[in-house]
Amino acid sequence: MGCKEKKENYEYKIKNHNHEFLSSTDYEKDDECVEHNHRIAGVTGPPIKCGKSHVHKIDVLTDTFDDHFHKICDTTGPALFLKDGKHIHLLKGTTGVADDNNHDHDYYFTTLIEDPSNVPENKKC
């Protein structure tokens, strides 16, 4: 994903943070024609300025299925702001090919919101 500026006059200061993520890959067949997918979970790296927004690096391994796993090393898209002022990031790509298994998996997911436990005072019960 690249850095795209959506608002020309948007002032944005990057606060140091990261995001959790969890998802599953698409299903693919392995060398023995067994259809399967993998779980993905982790935490992004810190923010990296990108135009008037920011992105995050992700470097994780999927879970293991039938003695193999896949590597994901990618960069999120820029921040997608939610109406409460928090944001998420989109990530779309393909895993690396596992050793001795000539296949990869596509993935498409969003990160969780940043700093989910930091509830503003005016939103608390």
Tens digit of pLDDT for each residue in 31-70?
Answer: 788 899 999 999 999 999 999 999 999 999 999 988 889 9
Distance CA 90, CA 55 (A): 10
Tens digit of pLDDT for each residue in 19-36?
Answer: 999 999 999 988 788 899
Give DSSP secondary structure letters for the chain: -------TT----PPS---EEEEEPPPEE-TT--EE--EEEEE----EEETTEEE-EEEEE---BTTB--EEEEE--S-EE-TTS-EE-EEEEEPPPPTT-----EEEEEPPPSSTT---GGG--
pLDDT-above-70 percentage for the chain: 81
